[in-house]
Chain A
Amino acid sequence: MPPTLKACTPPPYPMAPSMTPVTRFIRESAEVFTFDLAPERATPFTPGQFNMLYAFGVGEIPISISGAADAPDRLTHTIRAVGPVSAALGRLKAGDQVGLRGPFGVGWPVEEAKGFDVLLIGGGIGLAPLRPAIYWLLRHRAAYGRVGVLYGARTPDDLIFVSELEEWRKTPDFQLRVAVERAGPEWTGDVGYVTPLLSKLRYDPADAIAMICGPEVMIRATALALEDAGIADSRIFVSMERNMKCAIGHCGHCQFGPLFICKDGPVHRYDRVRDLLAYREL
């Protein structure tokens, strides 16, 4: 029986942002930063869910939660500064405030994956939405089979969560492979595209669940590679991005065929979106 994703209940006043202070700001790389928010009240979430963050006077964007789900009094977000809103969020410092709505959407099937081997594949900033799932798996390690993480980035300087990568690398019974697209001679790790590293992980394809987050071109290539390796398409889960505005499926900005990425996703079962991914018009 293929695992199904459970819909999450949206917050009681989903359109009303609450003023939320930044409590910690960390620069991960030249373009990427992480900050913690202290919400008014504990905000439970499922790994893979997202919040809408409002930079006052600039705009609001959806950002996946990148922190641990067992610390609901702290919401961590990791953001790459690519547009005016994310750049404005990148100028915040501890004590500043943002508008917060959420959490929204359907997260990773961490409960449904119990008993399975679990593979997590992240590209670029796509490791951030996977991190809560990684924390979850580590915290409930005995409930899962073999666990493997693949992470691809442009260069060693673009890697995020560097100290945690080192910790995870040393964690027993936890497989981590990191590949960069290009590197100088000081880098002794893998160089190349992330997908071929699948062959370096130990897992049973007949008994594995995979979770992918990254740019759509990577999702397509990685999902195909997983299928080629023998993992059923109903056991592959992908986190997708679209232009999300209301975050509750009313405005239609993030419509993806019959789906709304904000409320039916961002995490989708691959067999349900594979054909849609082939439509260039969507």
Chain B
Amino acid sequence: MKDIADLLRHHPFAEGLDEETLALIAGCAKNVVLQPGDYLHREGAAADSFYLVRHGAVALETFVPGRGAFTFLTVKSGEILGADWLIPPYRSSFDARVVELTRAISFDGKCLRGKCEADPRVGYEMMKRFIPPLVKRLQSARMQALGMYDAANA
């Protein structure tokens, strides 16, 4: 049976991470299996964890009164879910609803923040892994906000 460090080692997030750091952060992680319809967190709730999706899909949603929930991003295999645990006041800014059976590695945000504070090298490794996907999502969100498909008239 694989332990959590083994699972972590096979996720793109851990690519290039040395064994010592991997073992250190694995201490904050656990393996989770999520069913369709489960919510990882709700908008406004405490953001005390983040997830590395191993297999499956999770919809990130926001609720619009009178219109219902809107999905603005799906997070799938190999991707990171959740960044609000990094930023005070550590509050979730969206709902995260499981769309299909999902296996993920769940991290205790407070635990990991503590390890990053204690060892800036670990913090820097985490930053290197969080910033690229966050910047890419920001770029994508900008494109989505432009409603650019409206401009197409081929």
Which A residues fall within an 8 A CB radius of B? 63-64, 80, 82-83, 86, 123-126, 128-129, 152-154, 158, 181-185, 187-193, 195-196, 200, 213-218, 221, 239, 241
Contacts and interface: CB of A to CB of B under 8 A. Distances in A.
A192 B140 CA distance: 7
Interface in B129-154: 136-137, 139-141, 143-144, 146-154
A181 B149 contact: yes
B110 interface: no
Given A125-B154, A192-B74, A185 B61 contact: yes
Contacts of A64: 154
A123 B69 CA distance: 24
How big is chain B's contact interface, by range?
A: 20 to 34
A241 B100 CA distance: 39
B71 interface: yes
Closest 9 CB pairs of A and B: A124-B149, A193-B140, A124-B152, A215-B151, A215-B152, A191-B71, A181-B144, A191-B74, A192-B73
A214 B153 CA distance: 8
B71 A217 contact: no
Given A124-B152, A189-B74, A241-B153, 20 more contacts: A86-B153, A123-B152, A124-B151, A125-B149, A126-B152, A126-B154, A152-B149, A154-B147, A158-B149, A181-B144, A182-B144, A183-B71, A184-B68, A184-B70, A190-B76, A213-B154, A215-B151, A217-B143, A218-B149, A221-B143
A9 B131 CA distance: 51
B70 A214 contact: no
A111 B71 CA distance: 40
Contacts of B81: none
Contacts of A154: 147, 149-150
B80 to A, nearest CB: 13
20 contacts: A125-B154, A128-B154, A152-B149, A154-B149, A158-B149, A181-B147, A185-B68, A185-B69, A188-B99, A192-B72, A192-B73, A192-B74, A193-B143, A193-B144, A196-B140, A200-B76, A215-B151, A217-B151, A218-B143, A239-B154
Given A184-B68, A191-B73, A192-B140, A217 B146 contact: yes
- With a 10 A CB-CB cut-off, give which of A154, A181, A185, A215 has the most chain B CB atoms: A181
A214 B137 CA distance: 20
B57 to A, nearest CB: 8
Given A191-B72, A192-B74, A215 B149 contact: yes
Given A188-B99, A195-B140, A196-B140, A182 B149 contact: no
Contact of B153 (A80, A188, A193, A217): A80
Contacts of A218: 143, 148-149, 152
B96 interface: no
Interface in B20-66: 57, 59-61
Contacts, number: 101
A192 B58 CA distance: 12
- With a 10 A CB-CB cut-off, give which of B69, B72, B150, B154 has the most chain A CB atoms: B154
A177 to B, nearest CB: 10
Contacts of A217: 143, 146, 148, 151
Contacts of B148: 123-124, 214-215, 217-218
Nearest to B62: A182
A136 to B, nearest CB: 17
A123 B137 CA distance: 18
A158 B60 CA distance: 20
Contacts of A213: 154
Contacts of B70: 182-184
